[in-house]
Amino acid sequence: MLVLMLVAIASLRLCSLARAQPLCRVQTVRTGKDVLYSSSMTTRLIKHPCNKNIALYLGRQLFFTRNNFESSLPPFSIPPSMQVGIPEVTSAHFAGPVLLLVVNKKVYVYNIKTNSWTASTGIEHPVSHISGDNCCYSKHPFCLDISIFVFAYSHGEQISQTNIYFSDNWGFIFENYIHEGQEQLVGSLGGIFYLFSLSQIGVLLINQEKAKFEYSDYPLNHSFGLPFDYNGTLNIIIIPGQKGILIFWFEKSLLVSRNSGQLVFPVQVQERPGTLYPSVFDAGITIHTVAANENALAVLTQEDSLYYGSLGILTSFIIKFAHQDIWSQQAALMFTGLGILEILTPLPDSEFPAFDFQKCPVNIQAVLMDPQLQVDVCKVEILQGDFDNKMYTIDMNSKLELTAMMIPRPGTSPVPLAMVSNPHALGLNVFNYEDGYTYDGNTKHRLNISLKQQQHWGRADPNFTSSIEKPTISTITVDIANKEISCVDLKPLTAIISIGCDLKKKIVVQNEISACYKGNLDPVALQDNYSYIIEKEAYDPNFQGQKATEDLLVHYPYEKLGCPLLIHYDSPWKPVVELWQAGKFQEIVEAEYVLVEVNGLFTYTYSLTADTALCSSQPQNWTTIREEAQGSSFSWDRENYVSCHDPNNDAPLQWPNVPYQILGGPTENKIIFDQRNGIYVFLISIVDPYYSYCHLTTAFSVYVYGAFPLPFLMPEITIFLLMISILLSVWLAYMIPKLLHTELGRRLTGYWVSLCNRCRRSCACFQCRH
Ligand SMILES: *[C@@H]1O[C@H](CO)[C@@H](O)[C@H](O)[C@H]1NC(C)=O
Ligand SMILES: *[C@@H]1O[C@H](CO)[C@@H](O)[C@H](O)[C@H]1NC(C)=O
Ligand SMILES: *[C@@H]1O[C@H](CO)[C@@H](O)[C@H](O)[C@H]1NC(C)=O
Ligand SMILES: *[C@@H]1O[C@H](CO)[C@@H](O)[C@H](O)[C@H]1NC(C)=O
Ligand SMILES: *[C@@H]1O[C@H](CO)[C@@H](O)[C@H](O)[C@H]1NC(C)=O
Ligand SMILES: *[C@@H]1O[C@H](CO)[C@@H](O)[C@H](O)[C@H]1NC(C)=O
């Protein structure tokens, strides 16, 4: 390092001597400046929640490791090309593939894989903090997308005036975040967090040493969590796993919330067996650093003591371990495995620029066995469930059944407990347990858990489903109530549940009698780049029911649609729609849906009108949907559908005789085709907002047959000619027998006979024999 500096200074000298020729590289000097540091008195160690080997140490220097500090490291620095100025780091956050740092009030993105830096764009005011979360349950896009959302803000500014920024691409690009009603909020900003476990954005408001969360979305919109003491400047840790656990800490304060900040409690401190202080403040200790993982919490104090606590459902105290000389200004804590805690201290090397790391592992389970601590033994031997750490989806009208198994210690009867993190969205329908068979001398308990979306078991307000257009999430956690702190190896069971579209759901239109089967269309011809013509009188390219100006040549996409469904023009018809999930038939869809012919064919109508469909308000139709879109592309789906039977729909029923264009649901509405044979390609879309979160839509084709082919002439002329020919044949039938008896008749008969004889000779005219 020193050598480098000397070379650089030498080259700088050289530079000033020969100013005319820019030979030198001045920026070499600046590398020394861009070694990052944190000015906080405390140290922090942030582990990547999904990759346990990646971590960032924040102290007097920063260290970034990819192997859990298993090798010496030079202090983490930012390239001079980023031109950060003072390289002071105030906040750091891992967002999926990147590490975000706030350096000198600006956000920088470090790509972990490519080892490259980028400055974020879109932030116009200085910021001090960033926040976000990660989902490690699954590689499903739903889970991976959690890490793309990042907030950047300035801690401590008046909330009514401050600028908050939001990114939905891991912090590369930020936009101004408009928090509804922000101007009315009183207090300073303690942080803003996307609380996925509750599907809410939470703003922490600080006002006169009290703080509380304000939530953004229905049903908690603009409501507050309970106020709690806010002493100092609290660091906030979102515990990985989307369970809704938050930890707030500062030198004299340690608080925990298990429901995304709705209730925040001080963590109690057990100094000796039997002495429990209500808070860190009351225990008179000073926190140096805190480490937390999904299940546990550890605290190192400036008094050189180590404390440990479980993050179980009901426990909220930390217990002091026996004293040992472990503290130093640079010491940090990290959990490296279940029940293993490490005290990590970077050590400078006088010979080498890289730092070494001193590690001091603590086996929590072994320490807790110390009889002096008087800790009760864990009452549970095994808690297992195959849903642990997995992701599930619950769509509307579906439920989820999970099971777990518990083996208690002989002679004890611990109480298992299940909790959902977002009770507004997800209901715990059933949770029970039964004593099962004996297993290795233990009684095995089977836990049954049944989950359902809240809306569908009658407790939630009916507006709930439609008010949530974006999917929500929740986690389910199964743990033991009042678990002893000694249950270090007994991990609670958790699964993440997406309450949203089940991407495996598809709709299919039943095609039992196809036009190919009945011989109306030739499948070979259909497959061979088949095309057909739609006459200009039958379609409107603008879907407004106006005749087009020229005929349309349509290519038939056989690969996509197969053979069309056969329909007789004369029979009112509606498709039979099937719901499939992951390739398995589920049910016939009874929900409301709409159809549109993709080429603009309008030669069909509906059997019901607004009136006969018993609408209480004016129903929507394709015209109104198109008008609402104001020229941009439009779709009619669960998000814009409003039922005309909905008592809250206040559109007056002004035109009761318009066709009712919604099929399925409570009405018997059907399609009635005009007298026209041909192929129709329909797009079907389920519009019932209560059927599924998915946009269920598909295309299918029908072939209408049996209609009298319309002649080229006007229908009036056709009828006239038809009448004339009928009259003529009636007249002929009457006149011919009469005529045959007259002289003219006889002559005519003779002519026919001679013609027939001639014919018999010259050709094989069988008809003439008579
Ligand atoms: C939340 O929103 C709903 C509907 O959007 C509204 O009826 C309710 O009054 C709001 N609640 C609060 C506390 O503002
Ligand atoms: C905050 O400080 C006050 C005294 O200033 C103290 O009474 C209170 O217990 C502290 N709260 C916490 C959570 O530490
Ligand atoms: C738990 O579920 C199993 C199978 O689903 C069932 O046989 C058992 O009766 C259930 N137990 C209770 C207590 O409901
Ligand atoms: C549903 O929402 C509408 C308007 O947002 C409101 O008038 C109605 O009272 C709500 N229904 C319930 C049951 O809350
Ligand atoms: C299919 O037919 C269309 C129109 O008849 C024609 O333009 C196109 O080239 C044909 N494609 C093939 C692969 O024959
Ligand atoms: C669509 O509904 C509007 C009233 O909402 C009505 O004026 C119009 O005629 C309807 N269009 C069709 C094609 O039925």
Please tell me the distance between residue 237's alpha carbon and the centre of ligand 2 in angstroms. 20
Q: Summarize pLDDT for 558-576 with one digit per residue, the tens.
A: 999 999 999 999 999 999 9
CATH of 380-499, one of 2.40.70.10, 2.60.40.1080, 2.30.30.90, 2.60.120.620: 2.60.40.1080
Q: Is the CB of 448 under 6 A from ligand 3?
A: yes
Q: What is the pLDDT of residue 15?
A: 40
Question: For position 23, what pLDDT does the model report?
Answer: 62
Q: Evaluate whether 592 touches 509 at the Cβ level (below 8 Å).
A: no
Ligand 1 contact, 461 CB (< 6 A): no
Task: Check pocket membership of 67 for ligand 3, CB cut-off 6 A.
Answer: no
Q: Ligand 5 test: best mutation among 553, 555, 558, most atoms within 8 Å of CB?
A: 555
pLDDT at residue 117, rounded to an integer: 96
Say if strands 175-176 and 188-195 run parallel, antiparallel, or are unpaired.
Answer: unpaired
- The residue with tokens 């029979």 is 571
Is pLDDT at 762 greater than 60 in this prediction? no
pLDDT the model gives residue 5 = 44
Would you state the structure tokens that stand for residue 155, as one six-digit string?
């801690």
pTM recorded for the entire structure: 0.77
**Residue predicted with more confidence, 490 or 18:** 490
Min mean pLDDT across 14-23, 94-103, 709-718 is at 14-23
| Side-by-side strand order, sheet with 98-103 | 89-95, 98-103, 106-111, 116-119
For 182-228, what is each residue's pLDDT tens digit?
999 999 999 999 999 998 999 999 999 999 999 988 778 788 999 99
- pLDDT, one tens digit per residue, over 482-534 is 889 999 989 999 999 998 888 889 999 998 888 888 788 888 888 988 999 99
Would you kindly state where each structural domain of the chain is located, as residue ranges?
A: 1-36+268-375, 78-266, 380-499, 505-705, 728-769
Q: Is residue 114 very low, low, confident or very high in pLDDT (cuts 50, 70, 90)?
A: very high
Q: Does ligand 3 come within 6 angstroms of the Cβ of 71? A: no
Least confident of 18-32, 608-622, 645-659: 18-32
**Ligand 3 centroid – CA 762 distance (Å):** 94
Q: How much distance in Å is there from the Cα of 462 to the middle of ligand 4? A: 8
- Average pLDDT (679-698) is 93
Residue 266 in contact with ligand 2 by CB distance below 6 A: yes
Number of H helices, E strands in the chain: 10, 47
Q: Does ligand 1 have an atom closer than 6 angstroms to the CB of 224?
A: no
Query: From the CB of 222, is ligand 1 less than 6 Å away?
Result: yes
pLDDT of residue 715: 54
What confidence tens digit (pLDDT) does each residue in 158-182 have?
999 999 999 999 999 999 999 988 9
- pLDDT-derived band at 20 (thresholds 50, 70, 90) equals low
Per-residue pLDDT, 555: 94
Distance between CA 589 and CA 574 in Å, rounded? 12
Cα separation, 55 vs 93, in Å, equals 10
The pLDDT of residue 380 is 92
Q: How far apart, in whole angstroms, are the C-alpha atoms of residue 112 and residue 1?
A: 25
Q: How confident is the model at residue 761 (pLDDT cuts 50, 70, 90)?
A: very low
Ligand minimally distant from the alpha carbon of residue 436: 3
Band (pLDDT 50/70/90 cuts) for residue 18 is very low
CA of 200 to the centre of ligand 1 (A): 14
Closest-lying ligand to the alpha carbon of 223?
1
The total of other beta-carbon atoms located within 10 Å of residue 30's CB is: 13
Asked if 452 and 481 touch (Cβ cutoff 8 Å), the reply is no
Q: Whose CA is nearest to atom 4 of ligand 1?
A: 218
CA of 454 to the centre of ligand 4 (A): 17
Kindly give the distance from the C-alpha atom of residue 611 to the centroid of ligand 6, in angstroms, as a whole number.
13
For ligand 5, the distance from its centroid to the CA atom of residue 529, given in whole angstroms, is 6
Lowest-confidence pick of 22-31, 207-216, 371-380, 498-507:
22-31
CA distance 690 to 469: 11
Q: How far is the centre of ligand 4, averaged over its atoms, from the C-alpha of 461 (Å)?
A: 8
Dihedral (CA of 151, 152, 157, 162) sign? negative
Among 200, 220, 221, name the best residue to mutate to test ligand 1's pocket (greatest count of ligand atoms within 8 A of Cβ).
Answer: 221
CA of 446 to the centre of ligand 3 (A): 8
Q: Identify the pLDDT of residue 716.
A: 60
- pLDDT category, 747, cuts 50, 70, 90? low
Asked if the model's pLDDT at residue 766 lies above 60, the reply is: no
Structure confidence by residue, pLDDT tens digits, 57-80: 999 999 999 999 999 999 999 998
Ligand 2 pocket test, pick from 231, 251, 254, 318 with the greatest ligand atom count within 8 Å of Cβ, gives: 231
Ligand 6, CB within 6 Å, residue ranges: 545, 618, 621, 623-624, 655, 658-659
Question: What pLDDT score does 764 carry?
Answer: 40
Pull the structure tokens for residue 136.
């490690």
Predicted pLDDT at 439: 61
Nearest CA to ligand 3 atom 9: 434
Identify the residue whose tokens are 């800490």: 249
Tokens representing 571? 């029979």
Work out which ligand 3 atom sits closest to the CA atom of 430: 14
Domain range 78-266, its CATH number among 2.130.10.10, 3.10.129.10, 3.30.1330.20, 3.90.180.10: 2.130.10.10
181 C-alpha to ligand 1 centroid (Å)? 13
What's the pLDDT score for residue 270?
95
* CB-ligand 2 contact for 603 (6 Å cutoff): no
3-state helix, strand, coil in the chain (%, to 5): 15, 35, 45
Amino acid letter, 81: S
Mean pLDDT, the chain, whole residue set: 86
Q: What are phi and psi of 675, to 5 degrees?
A: -75, 80
Highest mean pLDDT among 77-81, 125-129, 456-460: 125-129
Query: Confidence band (pLDDT; 50, 70, 90) for 131?
Result: very high
Of all protein residues, the one whose alpha carbon is nearest to atom 14 of ligand 5 is 529
For residue 531 and ligand 5, the question of a CB distance below 6 A is answered with yes
Q: Tokens for 117?
A: 């830096």
State mean pLDDT over 537-542. 90
